[in-house]
Amino acid sequence: MTRIDNNAVSVRGLVKHYGDTKALDGVDLDVRQGTVMGVLGPNGAGKTTLVRILSTLLRPDAGEATVAGYDVLRQPRRLRRVIGLTGQYASVDEKLPGWENLYMIGRLLDLSRKDARARADQLLERFSLTEAARRPASTYSGGMRRRLDLAASMIGRPQVLFLDEPTTGLDPRTRNEVWGEVKAMVGEGVTVLLTTQYMEEAEQLASELTVVDRGKVIANGRVEELKAKVGGRTLRVRPVDPLQVRPFAALIDELGITGLAGTTVDGENGTLLVPILSDEQLTAVVGAVTARGITISSITTELPSLDEVFLSLTGHRASAPQDAVPADDRQEVAV
Amino acid sequence: MTATATAPVPMADTPISVRAHLRHTGALVRRNLLWIRQDPESMFDAILFPVIFTLLFVYVFGGSIGKSLGGGQQAYVQYVVPGLMAMMGMNMAQGVGTGFNTDFNSGVMDRFRSLPIGRGSVLFAKIAVELMRMLFATAVLMVVAVLVGFDITHWSGLLASVGLSAVFGSALMWVFLTLGVVMKSAQSVQAMGFLVLMPLQFGSSIFAPTNSMPGWLRAFTDYNPLSALADTARGLMLGGPVTHSLWITLAWSVGLTAVAAPYAIYKFRTKS
């Protein structure tokens, strides 16, 4: 990659309206060659709209964007030759076997029959799908489908890869698997723009982060910088007796250790999430556990939730209109 | 990667070559054919439709309509088979819209649209495969027709009729593809197709001669392109005047294609 001075993705003043809704309201963004840019934001922040414009599926109302030096409006076909796209929903043909999916895309990318065959074999092998090669994709598990999707995006050896919420809806084990694959692709020098709702995913994969909210960029910088700026962490406490979770939550609230977003009960896992802003608060929580004589099986510190990130950066929650929603209903947003 | 060493000059996209178009369409035709292999039941309509319609019309209405044609059931076989052939394209076309609507709303379309292919390829492939299905259905029809006693006078006329039905059929397919792209759900495409097709099918010379129909209906049937296609097929296979109806059929085919095909491709390109 000799084009060091040029950004792999460059976005200036991008605007997209849907009626009265401003999906994108003047977004600027630069992704340096060979890096992973995470675009972090809640549902409806405009992440998918951004990816769809950059992959030429959608025309912007105003602003400019180039990918690998190609203009999204003036050179869409050249641009399409150097990108890979994995959408929020698996974009493979479910009725076709995995191998046929990859062969078809190879042919659509102008590979010869021989090369398309070889590339399909090679990518199935690389994404551990060789055994399922002849089965229709509809019989694949969620993780396999996502891997096939990634393989399909890699056929044309893209310079820039767009991953739109690549692990949404996957269980933690499969999510780790997908993360591993993405890291491997980055190791091969691909520039990645990834959208996510999870701080954890952003930290795992991205070197730089852009936080978006209601169509606007509200913060950007290196992941460590943003983490330092947010400051908080989340403490996950698991009492041995799940029935202790709620009384414990009440106790923590009483003590006033609520970080910015407030405590959250994760009923499904029988844990309590306590946002903390300092080591003193961490100590206070541990003190409360001891004082109450609650037996706990684990206590871990995690990255701040999207809510914490948003509260510290903007002063409002990620899901602003739903402020009134009780803590338990916000599970999928937290952590 | 020396090509990227210099900042690319913002030159416009070059057009896709004909060979590349064919290659892309071929790859997508393969996809649609593999669907049939995956799900052979999807061919049921192409087999059952000609069988059921032929038997139904010949044995239910054949005797009485045949009498008015100055013969019997056999006279009706000669009358209705070319008509049924004309209908084949229409019935296949209706399925194109529904199928494409479902396909269009699946995630794989995003992938196609993010690939450097001519976006018309996706539609051309669909039409190509449906034409194959239509030819298959026509072959089934001819086998059943011969079994119930259909007598072909001009074999070259049979080939010409099949070709003409394919031309008209593909024109209708473009119309239904447009509906498939524009309408929101497969159900609405199907309902719309049914509403349009029922009057066109039965208000035509496909099943019965139009001379006993009231004047207002005849005004409709005489301009109905399906009547023209059925009359041409009759003339071609059994002998008789074809020039007038042939021109009407061709004019409809060209007209519908010229309007619907560019519009369907345009809508497909710009739909988000």
Q: Which of A59, A77, A90 has its CB closest to that of B107?
A: A90
State the Cα–Cα distance between residues A16 and B247, nearest whole angstrom. Answer: 49
Q: Determine the 3-state secondary structure of A195 from DSSP.
A: strand
At B10, the pLDDT band (50, 70, 90 cuts) reads: low
Chain A touched by B133 (CB under 8 Å): no
Chain A touched by B9 (CB under 8 Å): no
Residues A137 and B106 sit within 8 Å (Cβ to Cβ): no
Q: In sequence order, what are the beta bridge partners of A85?
A: A162
Query: What is the distance in angstroms between the Cα of A193 and the nearest Cα belonging to chain B?
Result: 16
CB contact under 8 A, B31 and A3: no
Q: Which residues of B touch A7 (CB under 8 A)?
A: none
State the Cα–Cα distance between residues B15 and B92, nearest whole angstrom. Answer: 32
Q: Which of B2, B106, B112, B115 to mutate to test the interface with A (most CBs of A within 10 A)?
A: B115
Long-range contacts of A216-221 (CB under 8 A, 24+ apart): A216/A25, A216/A26, A216/A27, A217/A27, A217/A28, A217/A29, A218/A313, A218/A314, A219/A313, A220/A29
Cβ-based neighbours of A103, under 8 Å, separated by 6 or more: A116, A117, A120
pLDDT digits (tens, 9 = 90+) for B245-264: 999 999 999 999 999 999 99
According to the model, what pLDDT value does residue A289 have? 83
**Antiparallel, parallel or unpaired: β A271-276 and A233-239:** antiparallel
pTM of the model: 0.81
According to the model, what pLDDT value does residue A4 have? 42
CB contact under 8 A, B115 and A108: yes
Q: Which residue of B has its CA nearest to A161?
A: B114
Q: What is the pLDDT along chain A (335 residues), one digit of tens a residue?
A: 344 447 999 999 999 998 888 899 999 999 999 999 999 988 888 999 999 999 998 999 999 999 999 999 999 999 999 999 987 776 889 999 999 999 999 999 999 999 999 999 999 999 999 999 999 999 999 889 989 999 999 999 999 999 999 888 888 888 888 899 889 888 888 999 999 988 888 888 999 999 998 899 988 888 878 777 776 778 888 888 888 888 888 888 887 776 666 777 877 778 888 888 788 888 888 888 888 888 888 888 887 777 777 777 776 666 544 333 333 333 333 33
Residue B11: pLDDT over 80: no
Q: Which residues of B touch A95 (CB under 8 A)?
A: 34-35, 38-39
According to the model, what pLDDT value does residue A334 have? 32
Q: Which residues of A touch B111 (CB under 8 A)?
A: 85, 87, 91-92, 105, 152
Helices A98-108 and A142-154 pack at an angle, to 10 degrees, of 20
- Assigned CATH topology for domain A9-228: Rossmann fold (3.40.50)
Q: Determine the 3-state secondary structure of A9 from DSSP.
A: strand
Residue B267: pLDDT over 70: yes
Q: What are the DSSP calls for A235-295, one per residue?
A: EEEEESSGGGHHHHHHHHHHHT--TTT--EEETTTTEEEEEESSHHHHHHHHHHHHHHT--
Q: Report the mean per-residue pLDDT for chain B.
A: 87
Cβ-based neighbours of B242, under 8 Å, separated by 6 or more: B231, B232, B235, B236
CB contact under 8 A, A107 and B113: no
Structure tokens at B270: 């710009």
Chain A touched by B48 (CB under 8 Å): no
Query: What is the distance in angstroms between the Cα of B83 and the nearest Cα belonging to chain A?
Result: 35
CB contact under 8 A, B24 and A108: yes
CA torsion angle for B111, B116, B117, B120 (degrees, to 10)?
70
Q: Which residue of B has its CA nearest to A162?
A: B114
Chain A touched by B13 (CB under 8 Å): yes
The number of C-alpha atoms within 13 Å of A232 and in the hemisphere containing its C-beta is 26
Q: Which residues of B touch A107 (CB under 8 A)?
A: 23-24, 26-27, 30
Q: Which CATH class is domain A231-330?
A: alpha beta
According to the model, what pLDDT value does residue A96 have? 93
Cα-based distances in Å from A265 to A170, A175, A257, A331, B199: 22, 23, 14, 8, 62
CB contact under 8 A, B107 and A108: no
Structure tokens at A282: 């961490």
Chain A touched by B22 (CB under 8 Å): no
Q: Which residues of B touch A58 (CB under 8 A)?
A: 272
According to the model, what pLDDT value does residue B81 have? 92
Residue whose pair of structure tokens reads 């106790």 in the numeric block: A251
- The residue extents of the domains of chain A are 9-228, 231-330
Q: Which residue of B has its CA nearest to A94?
A: B108
Q: Which residue of A has its CA nearest to B24?
A: A108
Distance of CA A117 to the CA centre of its chain: 32
According to the model, what pLDDT value does residue A323 have? 35
Q: Tell me what the mean pLDDT of segment B187-191 comes to.
A: 84
Residue B208: pLDDT over 80: yes
Q: Which residues of B touch A105 (CB under 8 A)?
A: 111, 115
Chain A touched by B186 (CB under 8 Å): no
Q: Which of B8, B35, B109 has its CB closest to that of A69?
A: B8
Q: Tell me what the mean pLDDT of segment B64-84 comes to.
A: 87
CB contact under 8 A, B272 and A57: yes
Q: What are the DSSP calls for A141-177, one per residue?
A: -HHHHHHHHHHHHHTT--SEEEEESTTTT--HHHHHH
Q: Which of A52, A83, A104 has its CB closest to that of B31?
A: A104
According to the model, what pLDDT value does residue A2 have? 40
The ipTM estimated for the assembled molecules is: 0.84
Q: Which of A56, A77, A148 to mutate to test the interface with B (most CBs of B within 10 A)?
A: A77
According to the model, what pLDDT value does residue B125 have? 93
Query: What is the distance in angstroms between the Cα of B70 and the nearest Cα belonging to chain A?
Result: 52
pLDDT digits (tens, 9 = 90+) for B83-127: 999 888 788 888 888 878 888 778 888 899 899 998 889 999 999
Q: Tell me what the mean pLDDT of segment B16-43 comes to.
A: 91
According to the model, what pLDDT value does residue A327 have? 36
Residue B67: pLDDT over 60: yes
